[in-house]
Amino acid sequence: MGPRLLRPDERPALAAGQPLVWACQADREGREAGRAGLRRQVRLQLAQLLSHYLGQPADRLGLVFEAGQQPRLAVDWRGLRLSPSLSYCGELAIVGLCPGADIGIDLTAVTALPDWEGVARLYLGPLAVARLARLEPDARARQFARDWTGMEAASKCLGLALEEWSPARQQRLQTCRLSARCVRWPDAPDGAWFAWALARMPRANR
């Protein structure tokens, strides 16, 4: 089992190699502004978390966001580089931090895909296709979401772009320590199910 999703106001202690992941949901202003509004809100939450743990104002963190890359910052925590990671899904997002290890996180809604087999064969590989084929539709949707978020989280952790499945790529993804689970988002309409995943790797092993 990996870490639980934290509320936005929680501030547990940091520990070397131990990731923390916070849930974030768009407020009214963020919803009205769409995805760009949520992105601003999540980036602000990350900056506030970093300011809290590093004891420095946000404008001194050297926090950099670039499309398609994990956030970067110039300040260390007790001599260890912090690894931030973000993931968005509709009006929801998760924010991750880990000192002394690379992490990647991913969030997706659990939903039945009519073309699940083709997508799984292209990106998740034959073993995942065989496992999913044995499941009933509801269980298949949850397992597909876990498999997908796990693949995305490991890709982010390793700095890999989304690519078609191959044995070599799968071997690389499996070097990460991975946890993936399905949860009911507390404030989501109708208690909707979501899958989220966390991949991590100590930097000494990279």
Q: Report how far residue 28's alpha carbon sits from residue 122's, in angstroms, rounded to the nearest whole number.
A: 38
3-class DSSP assignment, residue 178:
strand
Cβ atoms of 157 and 200 within 8 Å: the answer is: yes
Tell me how far apart the alpha carbons of residues 159 and 98 are, in angstroms, rounded to a whole number: 16
Using a cut of 0.75, tell me whether the model's pTM lies above it.
Answer: yes
Q: Over 50: is that where the pLDDT of 149 sits?
A: yes
The string of pLDDT tens digits covering residues 75-97 is 999 999 998 999 999 889 999 99
Residue with tokens 């926090």: 63
Question: Which of 30-44, 71-85, 111-125 has the weakest average pLDDT?
Answer: 30-44
Residue 206 has pLDDT above 50, yes or no: no
